[in-house]
Structure 1
Amino acid sequence: MSSRKVYLSLTLAALFLLFSELVFRVALCLFGYPFFLPARYLEKKYYPFIEPMEQAVVERGGDTRNILILGGSVVNTHWSRLELRLDTLFQKAYPDVKKFNFFNVAMPGHNSRDNLVKYNLLKNQHYDLVIYYEAINENRANNISSDLFYPDYSHIKWYDEINLLLKHPEMNVTVMPYAVHYLFKSLKDKLAHRNYISNEQVDPNYAVYGKDIKTAGPYHDNINAIASLANKKHDRLLLVKYASYFPKGVTLTGEPVDKKYFTPCYIVSPVTTWGKPEHVVKGIGVHNQMLEKVYHDQKTYFFDMSTAMPKDSAMFCDVCHLSEPGAQRFAKALSSFVVSNKLIR
């Protein structure tokens, strides 16, 4: 074959690939993917609040301190205003620090998988302290039979979609591998009549499977990965043992009648949000054990909020969310531990 034919073949192949790339990018744009940086779809769709924090100027030292909060709804801004409470307490304890910058990425429903993804997205930012508090949302993933359970939680559609995006870090260079993978997977799932469990509520028909805490290993691995990244970045990581309140001698049902055992609050979550009450208790306990194991193995910091919070209905809106007195107690206990152990310097 002459060199001219080789050159022509290569040119045609390159043009075909370029055309295919453009077609796939335009097609993905119709579904909300950014044209030039399609990998940003992860933040755009699943973690939209993270982009400003990725772009924020975060510097160590000087007269400011930067604190990242990872977790679920209990420490979310709108549920407990944790960072506002901590800011007030820290300002009194550290008069020489001009400003505390809080980056609260704790969101309702998020579990250890989400928090690992979020922390990885912020891997180029450095924090004086990272606080982790979450051990209940994981329980939803247990409500499925063992043979259909996936350690990366891809039996829940939310995580199945996220996991596919994470498998294609090349997306900003070329979307073709992702697009082909997506099409092939969609066809395969449709032919197999694949079903997913909800990330928002538990199907009563599947709740029986929640007895087996299949999330123990994945929870440990996700927290361990967070700790490893924190050590690599030299971020101080504080793992906080999860506090919950299950009234003694009471069988919770998830029905409105349960509210009489807790403090009246504007928003509450029935225990059946995560599964059967006895399974939720067990799951929290197992996850707390995994959290403590990571603390010992990775030499992070650890605070037992489960012991610090009184088992009192006045402190809780439901089995995990905090009333106003509970949120105050939580923040004071956490602040006291941080200050007494000199986690902020």
Structure 2
Amino acid sequence: MAWRSFLFSLIFFVILFVATEIILRIALVCYGYPFWKPGDYLYTGFYPTLKEMIGKDIRSDDEVQDILILGGSVISTPWSNMEVRLDTILQKKYGKSKKFAFYNTAAAGHTSLDNLIKYKLLADKRFDLVIYYEAINENRANCIPDKDFRADYAHIKWYSDIYLLQAHPEINFTVIPYVCALVIRGVRDKVTRKAYVSQDMVDPGFAKFGSNIKTALPYRENLTNMINISNRRGDALLLMKYASYFPEGVKLTGEQKDMDHFAGCHYASPVTIWGQADNVKKGIQSHNQILTDLAKRKQTHFFDMAANMPQDGRFFCDVCHVSELGAQNFASKLAGHLIDSRLLEHSD
């Protein structure tokens, strides 16, 4: 009788476990998680620009020049189609003597941390060149009281969610521990009344806290890690100083009248999505200085895009996004640097 009771209990437990697993997976599907491999939500939910690269054999020892683009919205496909512009210019220069494959993983709102995470996720890929361009999105992380700031940006829910997902590598086998952790965190946040910073906007009530550029050290650490990874992998890394345009003598407030000083693009972002204008400018300058110092100290390839983008509203849709004229100039100057510095000829 004892073994029958044990067998019955075991069967009941297995059925309960399987039923719970299926129900929870269905629930996660409603939030965008894949049913069979919910761990892939790291790609589908957070970093979809990496999806096309998963499983692809990308190597730097063949005839194709593989170029990875890391950054924010300015050089992303939807905003400036930068990879197509660069490919067109380079193909015209090299003709059939070189083949190029661009992988543009830049995306709106991505910080140095997002780009470091993306680069880490591509551990089995080897690139002839990695291009990094981002220094503004970090400013949102500053818009929080000093006591609530976290160097790993866990005070932004976007990153808190990523960390929780990465902490559960078993999720493709069973989602139960992950869902339990989600529930526990949700209850804890409710009890402690935890307030997260938005990944794509700034709470006007918190904007004043952005004057303290708390992201300086994390930005340095993230870029240092990126440089170290590129050195270990043998990827050439190009850091670019970030170009911005703050009209002289104009106080930007985020209102529609700000756009009178820019190119009049169909899409443009008010400066207030990053914080108060003076703080945003200060943050970009701080991050640019760190990037420049690291490039010099680590002897990393460097290009001063800030100096190569005219301080002219016709080239900018807002304080950082480039207009059609600006995109043409950006691509032309960057491609010119790649050609002149022979960065794409190191493997010949």
- The normalised TM-score by structure 1 is 0.91
Amino acid paired to 1:28: R
Q: What's the counterpart of residue 212 of structure 1?
A: 212
SS at match of 2:60: coil
Q: What's the counterpart of residue 85 of structure 1?
A: 85
Unmatched tracts of structure 2, length 5 or more: none
**Residues 12 and 290 of structure 1: CA distance in aligned 2, closer, same or farther (over 3 Å):** farther
Distance in 2, matches of 1:76 and 1:35, equals: 29
- Which of 28, 33, 47 is the matching residue for 1:31? 28
Distance in 2, matches of 1:19 and 1:228, equals: 47
- Kept in 2: contact 1:202–1:275 (CA 8 A): yes
**Residues 168 and 336 of structure 1: CA distance in aligned 2, closer, same or farther (over 3 Å):** same
- Kept in 1: contact 2:69–2:106 (CA 8 A): yes
SS at match of 2:302: strand
Q: Does 1:188 align with 2:188?
A: yes
Matched ranges for 1:265-276 at <5 A: 265-276=265-276
- Kept in 2: contact 1:64–1:97 (CA 8 A): no
Identify which range, 14-23 or 128-137, moves more after superposition: 14-23
Distance in 2, matches of 1:322 and 1:201, equals: 20
Spell out structure 1 runs of 4+ moving beyond 6 A: 8-15
**Residues 296 and 22 of structure 1: CA distance in aligned 2, closer, same or farther (over 3 Å):** farther
Matched ranges for 1:39-58 at <5 A: 39-58=39-58
SS at match of 1:94: helix
Distance in 2, matches of 1:215 and 1:22, equals: 45
Amino acid paired to 2:290: M
Identity %: 46
Q: What's the counterpart of residue 245 of structure 2?
A: 245
CA drift of 1:233 comes to 1.5
Q: Does 1:130 align with 2:109?
A: no
- Kept in 2: contact 1:243–1:305 (CA 8 A): yes
Distance in 2, matches of 1:128 and 1:12, equals: 58
Identify which range, 42-51 or 142-151, moves more after superposition: 42-51
Distance in 2, matches of 1:20 and 1:186, equals: 23
Q: What's the counterpart of residue 115 of structure 1?
A: 115
**Residues 295 and 21 of structure 1: CA distance in aligned 2, closer, same or farther (over 3 Å):** farther
Amino acid paired to 2:289: Q
- The normalised TM-score by structure 2 is 0.90
**Residues 258 and 167 of structure 1: CA distance in aligned 2, closer, same or farther (over 3 Å):** same
Distance in 1, matches of 2:18 and 2:123, equals: 29
Distance in 1, matches of 2:164 and 2:123, equals: 20
CA drift of 1:25 comes to 5.8
Q: What's the counterpart of residue 301 of structure 2?
A: 301
**Residues 195 and 324 of structure 1: CA distance in aligned 2, closer, same or farther (over 3 Å):** same
Unmatched tracts of structure 1, length 5 or more: none
- Kept in 2: contact 1:239–1:295 (CA 8 A): yes
- Kept in 1: contact 2:131–2:237 (CA 8 A): yes
Distance in 2, matches of 1:99 and 1:338, equals: 15
SS at match of 1:119: helix
Q: Does 1:94 align with 2:91?
A: no
CA drift of 1:339 comes to 1.2
SS at match of 2:239: strand
Q: What's the counterpart of residue 326 of structure 1?
A: 326
Distance in 2, matches of 1:239 and 1:9, equals: 63
Identify which range, 289-298 or 331-340, moves more after superposition: 289-298
SS at match of 2:70: strand
Q: What's the counterpart of residue 278 of structure 2?
A: 278
Distance in 1, matches of 2:344 and 2:122, equals: 20
SS at match of 2:131: strand
- Kept in 2: contact 1:268–1:317 (CA 8 A): yes
Distance in 1, matches of 2:67 and 2:51, equals: 17
**How many equivalent residue pairs?**
340
Give CA-to-partner distance per residue, 1:260-318, whole Å, 9 cap, x none: 11111111111111000100000001111221233234332111111111111121111
Q: What's the counterpart of residue 144 of structure 2?
A: 144
- Kept in 2: contact 1:116–1:223 (CA 8 A): yes
Give CA-to-partner distance per residue, 1:184-207, whole Å, 9 cap, x none: 212211111222222222121111
- Kept in 1: contact 2:21–2:174 (CA 8 A): no
